[in-house]
Structure 1
Amino acid sequence: MPSTAKAEHSMTRLTRTPKSPIWRGALLAALLASTALGGFAAADARAETAAPATPPAITPAVPAQMVPDFADLVARVKPAVVSVTTHLKVDPAAMEGIPTPFGMLRPAHPQAVEAKGSGFIVDANGTIVTNNHVVKDAKSVSVTLADGTVLPATIVGRDARTDVAVLRVKAGHKLPWLQLGDSGQVRPGEWVVAMGNPFGLGGTVTAGIVSALGRDIGSGPYDNFLQIDAPINHGNSGGPLFTQDGRVVGINTAILSPSGGSIGIGFAIPSNMVSKVVADLEKTGHVTRGFLGVETQPVNPTIAAALNLGKGDASGALIASVSTDSPAAKAGLKPGDVIQAVDTRKVATPRDLAVAVADVKPGDTAKLDIIRDGAHQSLDVTVGTMPSEQVASASPPAQQEGVGLALAPLTPNLRQQLSLDDSVNGAVVAQVRPGSPADAAGMHTGDVILGVGNHAVGSPAEAVKAIHGATQSGKAVALRVMRDGHTAYVAIDPAKHGSSGTANG
């Protein structure tokens, strides 16, 4: 990532402002990381047979332990931890408007800038793992070994979606290396140790515990971070996170921080994900992932009611749109289908779907368990290869709820204004009644209603008829809406919002 001249910089804070509940996701994360693991056992609580009794307090099943000494562990792993220096070029034109001290003149030519990060060696031949954001904009990269040796490094491959990169150095001899552990065995409350190059201070060691597992911080479609409280700061990005057996269970990558410094909330990419990505990058220089070609959204209770889903079915990935000629289209998937499993893997959220599909080898057949029109069924789909700039199955859609709408046809003039081609059919929202459920939910003029429930609508009249029919019983109805090129289902619950409303408002 870009940095100031010779700044020890590799972990960057990333903040996004939320727009609306479905159209935009919120993110506050700094690209640093740390971790902490653990758990405790509890004694059985036994109820008396005669009458309910207050259960006893939960007590540890093992005696309290002293805080461990990590000195021997650090001595073993330190030789395989490296500092990464990324050499950048900054165009003076990009510095316009930034004051210079004491009125000094700006340099006329691009200036060399260094960004600092961390990494670790994963084989004796000099393969190094770090974060993608550490080396993303590099003109050249160098690596400093634990003994102070500086070596030029080549970038073998980068994967922006998981923020993993692989480098290689030639030392002329075998190097000490670290083994990737099984992050699936990590438990909240477990001790972990982070090592890296914060602020250019190479070989810095911090310790803490795993705070939580499976964190989604909104940085990518495959977020599944370990959350740790071991302090990490700028420059720790790409460094290893160890358990007490000396195996790497994560790459320190991000922090949550209002100030940019550590407050004990760090995130590490789990080693099980890292190992798959590194294997692909070493083999081909890029990561091959499965692809469906759908845009999905979460299933909330209102959406579940609108789609007549049972109480046990109020989860999964709701398909908002299907790309033309995609694997999903060829398999017969439709907007309104709810995907609940890929092969044997349960799908509770769009992220679950993205991860499950990405793990399927392109060309292989996957079995999808879906709900369509309230009925369970299965479909087989031949998974494709994800296009280089496509993010499968996890695009954040828009959200609008409620009625109180005036609808208009899609005239040639409106199509031009909304940048819609002739393949898009539906009804345009011409007006949102102030104070209506639609207004309260954030419906906008220019939204296009494509369908009601699982049925497409091609005109305002069809939309009005379908909305009236669906809301007569007072139950929720789901509208399929397009905004800014994205499609999403929007649940309308007349009873909940205090108005049955009419489509013409």
Structure 2
Amino acid sequence: MRLLLLLFSLLAPADAAELMRTIDDVKPSIVGIGSLQQTRGPAIGFVGTGFVIGDGLTVVTAAHVVNDLVNSGQGATLGVLVRSGDSAQFRAARVVAMDKEHDLARLRITQGDALPALRLGDSGKVREGQELAFTGFPLGMVLGLHHVTHRCIVSAITPLATPAITARQLDGKTARQLQKPRYAVFQLDGTAYPGSSGSPLFDPANGEVVGVVNMVFIKGVKESAISAPSGITYAVPANYLKSPPSPGGR
């Protein structure tokens, strides 16, 4: 027992230092997903998180984040917010692919130089009990463009949960959704909030992305995600990003 405690005391600081180095490495690749509209105040706003992959101009986020912006931002320019010193820089982007089934979207930055890109890992190797981390912008504009990292473990690898419905709620759209094949997602014990959607789920040792945060389990009304978070978060395995994406934006 004493030997185990000694080993733990020796390993824990190293693990913490490893995570700190990884956080420094991944932060330049993580952006806010938002829009610009000169006639509103503030002109720039963001509602979710994304991260850069590939050539440094491709951004991955959750599809529902993009949908929320498109549906609410009439006349606004879609784009990403990049942390630049103490301020945020807006860079226009366009939707190049949307996978609504897996809640994934790809954007293409159309302004400025390439950003540092994150590497995609093999999400098929992730196991229950594995320690991971995710970094994003919880609560969006409320906390501002300040990176926040949550450490977590994979509590379960489980089929995506479908909310219970009644016969009165069963319409054509819901029926089609129920007929789609279910797929496994990562259930995490870390707490995500609105704004965390689209955050990269990564290996603390090397920063390789193995998932994309897509939602938090909510007890009751939507506001409960803030006032009484459940501590249960879901992430889509990153291997779905390696599949040929569907073209188009909506």
Gaps of 5+ in 1: 1-59, 89-111, 287-387, 389-505
* Per-residue deviation, 1:227: 0.7
Identify the structure with the greater helix proportion: 2
**Residues 254 and 206 of structure 1: is their aligned pair in 2 closer, same or farther, counting only changes over 3 Å?**
same
* Per-residue deviation, 1:179: 1.1
Aligned mates of 2:190, 2:79 — CA distance in 1: 27
In the alignment, is residue 142 of structure 1 matched against residue 79 of structure 2?
Answer: yes
Q: TM-score, normalised by structure 1?
A: 0.37
Matched residue SS, 2:240: helix
CA contact (8 A) 1:118 1:130 kept: yes
1:250 maps to what in 2?
Answer: 211
Matching residue within 25, 31, 53 for 1:82: 31
1:205 maps to what in 2?
Answer: 149
CA contact (8 A) 2:93 2:111 kept: no
Matched residue SS, 2:124: helix
Q: Output one character per residue of 1:94-141: Cα deviation in whole Å (capped at 9) or x when no partner.
A: xxxxxxxxxxxxxxxxxx995510000012341100011001141431
* Per-residue deviation, 1:197: 1.2
* Per-residue deviation, 1:173: 2.1
Q: TM-score, normalised by structure 2?
A: 0.72
2:198 maps to what in 1?
Answer: 238
Q: Output one character per residue of 1:343-364: Cα deviation in whole Å (capped at 9) or x when no partner.
A: xxxxxxxxxxxxxxxxxxxxxx
In the alignment, is residue 273 of structure 1 matched against residue 204 of structure 2?
Answer: no
Amino acid of the structure 2 residue aligned with 1:142: G
**Residues 150 and 86 of structure 1: is their aligned pair in 2 closer, same or farther, counting only changes over 3 Å?**
closer
Gaps of 5+ in 2: 38-42, 164-176
Aligned mates of 2:29, 2:233 — CA distance in 1: 22
Amino acid of the structure 2 residue aligned with 1:247: E
In the alignment, is residue 116 of structure 1 matched against residue 47 of structure 2?
Answer: yes
Q: Which has the higher contact order (CA 8 A, sep 6+)?
A: 2
CA contact (8 A) 1:87 1:114 kept: yes
Amino acid of the structure 2 residue aligned with 1:167: L
**Residues 114 and 176 of structure 1: is their aligned pair in 2 closer, same or farther, counting only changes over 3 Å?**
closer
In the alignment, is residue 160 of structure 1 matched against residue 97 of structure 2?
Answer: no
CA contact (8 A) 1:253 1:269 kept: yes
2:174 maps to what in 1?
Answer: none
Q: Share of identical aligned residues, percent?
A: 31
1:192 maps to what in 2?
Answer: 132
Amino acid of the structure 2 residue aligned with 1:135: V
* Per-residue deviation, 1:87: 6.4
Matching residue within 125, 131, 142 for 2:62: 131
CA contact (8 A) 1:115 1:134 kept: no
Matched residue SS, 2:118: coil
**Residues 145 and 115 of structure 1: is their aligned pair in 2 closer, same or farther, counting only changes over 3 Å?**
closer
Aligned mates of 2:134, 2:185 — CA distance in 1: 15
* Per-residue deviation, 1:157: 2.0
* Per-residue deviation, 1:280: 2.0
* Per-residue deviation, 1:275: 2.1
Aligned mates of 2:27, 2:44 — CA distance in 1: 27
Aligned mates of 2:63, 2:105 — CA distance in 1: 5
Structural RMSD (CA): 2.5
1:260 maps to what in 2?
Answer: 225
Aligned mates of 2:131, 2:122 — CA distance in 1: 15
